[in-house]
């Protein structure tokens, strides 16, 4: 049965796990956010009541 032959599938499995474990996390970790967060800046929104039209 060809499904039990690990020769082609083992290399595909190892290569895909290598990509998932080594290359993708480094790309995610080195991601730079375009906006810097300032912890002291808070936006104050004014709350106005909504008058219902009916």
Residue 6 domain-assigned (yes or no): yes
In angstroms, the first-to-last Cα distance of the chain is: 74
pLDDT at 15: 92
pLDDT higher than 60, residue 47: yes
Domain that residue 14 falls in: 1-30
Residue 52 domain-assigned (yes or no): no
Give the pLDDT confidence of 1-13 residue by residue, as tens digits.
Answer: 556 777 778 889 9
Residue 43 domain-assigned (yes or no): no
The CA-based angle 39-27-29, given to 5 degrees, is 35
Residue 23 domain-assigned (yes or no): yes
Residue 1 domain-assigned (yes or no): yes
Number of domains in the chain: 1
pLDDT at 53: 78
| pTM (global) more than 0.85 | no
Give one DSSP letter per residue of the chain, joined into a string.
Answer: -GGG-HHHHHHHHHHHHHIIIIIHHHHHHT---SS---TT--PPPP--PPPP--
CA 16/CA 20 separation, integer angstroms: 6
Give the pLDDT confidence of 3-41 residue by residue, as tens digits.
Answer: 677 777 888 999 999 888 888 888 888 877 777 777 765
């Amino acid at each position: 049965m060809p499904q039990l032959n690990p020769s082609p599938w083992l290399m595909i499995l190892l290569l895909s796990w290598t990509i998932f474990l080594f290359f993708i996390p480094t790309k995610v970790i080195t991601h730079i956010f375009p906006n810097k967060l300032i912890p002291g800046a808070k936006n104050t929104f004014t709350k106005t009541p909504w008058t219902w039209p009916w």
